[in-house]
Structure 1
Amino acid sequence: MDKLFAQFANRAAHYAGSPITFMACLGGVIIWALCGPLFGFSETWQLVVNTTTTIITFLMVFVIQNTQNRDGAALQAKLDELIRSSDAQNEFIGIEELTDQELRLLHARCAAEARRTAAALERTLGERRARGHPV
């Protein structure tokens, strides 16, 4: 069931995001609007477009959420593998499970480390310049 829905969600998201689908929907709205005078801009005429768009939006929320969840999980698995197989710190594997507070602390630590690295690089470049080395 999961694989079948994943295939459906991928296809639906692909087609929903295509220019031809946009143009078809735009055409439908234009036809609906042009029919307004024919139906006297009645409540039923308005209800048709409201109901149609509500149903499509409701269903597309689940399709899009499914594709985003899978894309996010796949991206996270790829990043975890890159971290695991490199000299990066393995403590970053699985950080998507941390709380917001823990993520803020980790981000602050990484930002401080980046500032220290940038300062060390600037000192090194300054020393090279002082010795007359090209930078």
Structure 2
Amino acid sequence: MNSKKKESGFEKLANKITCWTGSSLAFGLAAGAVVVWIITGPIFKFSDTWQLVINTGTTIITFLMVFLIQKTQNKDSKAIQLKLNELIAASRKASNRMVDIEDLDEEELDTLHKFYERLSDKAEAATDIHESHSIDAADQLQDEKNKPEN
């Protein structure tokens, strides 16, 4: 894939805004705006309009940021899932059934979680922290490891 793929206008804008809003400068400006608002309280006699200014401004910014953050989160989540899928596919002993499990429903994920709890219990019982277990062969591997050596 070409990492220099042309991004849409919205994609570019969303990336720039999310990067900027996570910066120290953005936080400083937001904190400065709150300080200015607090200082102007006595000047405007703490009126309803004075309160409305900060409430309206923060509500609008929060409303828009929710969508930008969600868009960024969706993109990051998809990229992480693809990287994990690649690691699973590339690992000889990993279970390929784990690829795309994010598409399973909650009940199916709970069932898988129970299998991994069992696998974790077996791994905790092992004396070597470098032992590797596959969900497909956990019982067989554990039985083999418990056999006395000749």
Q: Compute the TM-score of the two structures, normalised by the length of structure 1.
A: 0.84
Q: Secondary structure at the match of 1:28?
A: helix
Match of 1:116 in 2: 122
Match of 1:50 in 2: 55
Query: How far does the alpha carbon of each residue in 1:27-67 deviate from its partner, in whole angstroms, 9 at most, with x for none?
Result: 11111111111111111111111000000000000000000
Partner of residue 99 from structure 2, selected from 73, 88, 93: 93
By how many angstroms is 1:118 displaced? 3.7
Q: Secondary structure at the match of 1:39?
A: coil
Q: How far apart in 1 are the matches of 2:13 and 2:97?
A: 36
The amino acid that maps onto 1:103 is L
Match of 2:28 in 1: 23
The amino acid that maps onto 2:105 is T
By how many angstroms is 1:111 displaced? 1.6
Which structure would you say has the larger RCO, counting Cα contacts within 8 Å and 6 or more residues apart? 1
Consecutive unaligned residues of structure 2, counting only runs of 5 or more, are 1-6, 129-141
Q: Secondary structure at the match of 2:46?
A: coil
Q: Secondary structure at the match of 2:8?
A: helix
Task: State the superposition RMSD in angstroms.
Answer: 2.2
Q: How far apart in 2 are the matches of 1:69 and 1:7?
A: 15
Consecutive unaligned residues of structure 1, counting only runs of 5 or more, are 129-135
By how many angstroms is 1:120 displaced? 4.6
Partner of residue 10 from structure 1, selected from 11, 15, 35: 15
Partner of residue 79 from structure 1, selected from 72, 76, 84: 84
Match of 1:69 in 2: 74
Count of residues paired in the alignment: 126
Check the 8 A contact 1:16/1:22 in 2, yes or no. Answer: yes
Percentage identity across aligned positions? 44
Q: How far apart in 1 are the matches of 2:13 and 2:42?
A: 38
Q: Compute the TM-score of the two structures, normalised by the length of structure 2.
A: 0.76
Q: How far apart in 2 are the matches of 1:83 and 1:118?
A: 22
Q: How far apart in 1 are the matches of 2:49 and 2:115?
A: 59
